[in-house]
Every structure is written in C-alpha cells, then in structure tokens.
Amino acid sequence: MGTISRFRDGILVGRLALAVLGIAGLYAGVSDNTVWAQSAPVELIRTDITKLKSLDSSQWTALGVRLGNSKEVALKTLQQTKDIKVQDDPASGRIFVSIPPPNSAVVMSVRITQGLVTAINLVGGFGEWLPGDTQLLFRAFEDDSLRYKLLGREDQREVVKGGTTEAPAVDMSFAYFKEGILLHYGIKRSADGKQVEILREMVLVYPAKAR
C-alpha cells in the first residue's frame, strides 16, 4: 500500500449533487492545547487560496472549522451555520455535513481524533462554494497543467486502476505534504457505458513537519 493510501482520509460517497447555498461561516476559538492554529485563519469559502503567498492548511477554516479545533467547538460552529445539516457519528469518529433535502448530499466531513479535528474532507458539491481559481482547481484535479500552475508539482501521486473490463474504474491521488493538502479524484463507468460516477475530494491534514 502506498504512502497516500495510508495518509488518505477519504469518504466514499455516490454521485453528489452540486448546490449553491448562502452559508454563514462562523469563526470559532481554537483550543489552547494545539500548536497548529495560532494566527487569524483564512476561510476557504471566502478566499481563493491559490492567490496566497504560501499554502498552509493549518491556517485555514472550512465553514469556520479548523484543524486543531476541539470536537465541541467544531460541532457548535457547524450547528450554527445556516442551510446545512450536521450529523455527529461517534462510531466513525466523524462529523458529517450535508445539503438539506431533497439532495441530502454529503459535502464535508470532519475527522475527530482524541477530541480534536485532525482532518477536514471537502467533497463534491463543496467545490461550488469555493471562490476563484480554487473552484477551478477543485473541478480539475486530474489536469496536471492546471494543478501545476495553481499548486505546483505534487510531492507524490498515486494512480490505481480497478473495476472490470466492462466497468473500469480509476482512482487518482495527489499529495502536497508540506502544505497539508491531499487531492483525490475517482471515476467509475457503468458496464453499459451510459453512466459515470465521479468523486472529487480535497482533504486538509496537518502539514508535515520538516525533518
């Protein structure tokens, strides 16, 4: 199993409906026992991260949630955000965020480890809330030329082909360990060739410490 497979913190979801909602992102305080979240954060739905001078996922928030937040802070922040549904799932160690009915698609999940947020998954329709070239990037992880322009060359990539001859599937991941960004793109075609399932996911993890 490759490094990305061990690091990837993805969630498997079906085809996600895209939605544009009015979201009130709330900024919450950070627990005192984290060393990652020390400066004023950048909210992803308001800032085009591709225009920042440096990329550091520990300095970003998604709907007000930040790496290093306590579970209580993350839950409270999300529950006070309009137009989303929040589900705490202690069995999986995650908080799921979805669009309200009729779509009810998962657009974000937050991983909780020992009471703290350690990964934030932005899935499918979340890309429609991102501004500028960040949204463009989310729509085309697999475009090497565009990704190199906006993020630079990845530290590691992994391509896994699966499925069957009649229904092929491809899973691609691009890791930016220094910045704390994992990009995941999956595509699966039905046996009759008439349906295609696509998964796009941006995962925020702690940036790797220099060694």
- Tell me the DSSP string of 76-101: HHHHTSTT-EEEEETTTTEEEEEPPT
Is the pLDDT at 12 greater than 60? The verdict is no
Assigned token pair, 44? 């992803």
Domain that holds residue 8: 3-205
Which range scores top for mean pLDDT: 50-54, 72-76, 142-146?
72-76
More confident residue, 40 or 122: 122
Rounded mean pLDDT, 12-19: 31
pLDDT (0 to 100) of residue 3: 37
Mean pLDDT of 47-66: 95
Residues in CB range of 179: below 8 A, 6 or more apart: 55, 56, 57, 151, 207
Structural domains in the chain (count): 1
- Tokens 């920042």 belong to 52
pLDDT at 166 over 70: yes
Residue 210 is assigned to a structural domain of this protein: no
Asked if omega into 131 is within 30° of 0 (cis), the reply is: no
Lowest mean pLDDT segment, chosen from 34-38, 58-62, 105-109, 122-126: 34-38
| Residue at 128 is within a domain | yes
Is 131 part of any domain? yes
Classify residue 211: in a domain, yes or no.
no
91-111 as b/e, with b when 16 or more CB fall inside 10 Å? eeebbbbbbeeeeebbbbbbb
Provide, rounded to the nearest whole percent, the portion of the chain with pLDDT above 90.
61
- Average pLDDT of the segment spanning 174-194: 90
Q: How far apart are CA 17 and CA 56, in angstroms?
A: 29
What is the share, in percent, of the chain residues with pLDDT greater than 70? 82
Instruction: Check residue 180 and give its pLDDT.
Output: 97
What is the number of other CB atoms lying within 10 angstroms of the CB of residue 82? 10
Dist CA 9 CA 57 (whole Å): 15
Considering the domain boundaries, does residue 158 fall inside one? Answer: yes
Residue 156 pLDDT level (bands cut at 50, 70, 90): very high
pLDDT of 191: 82
Residue with tokens 């007000």: 64
DSSP secondary structure code for residue 70 in this structure: B
Query: Phi and psi at residue 145, in whole multiples of 5°?
Result: -60, -45
Predicted confidence at residue 39, as pLDDT, reads: 62
Residue 78 lies in a domain: yes
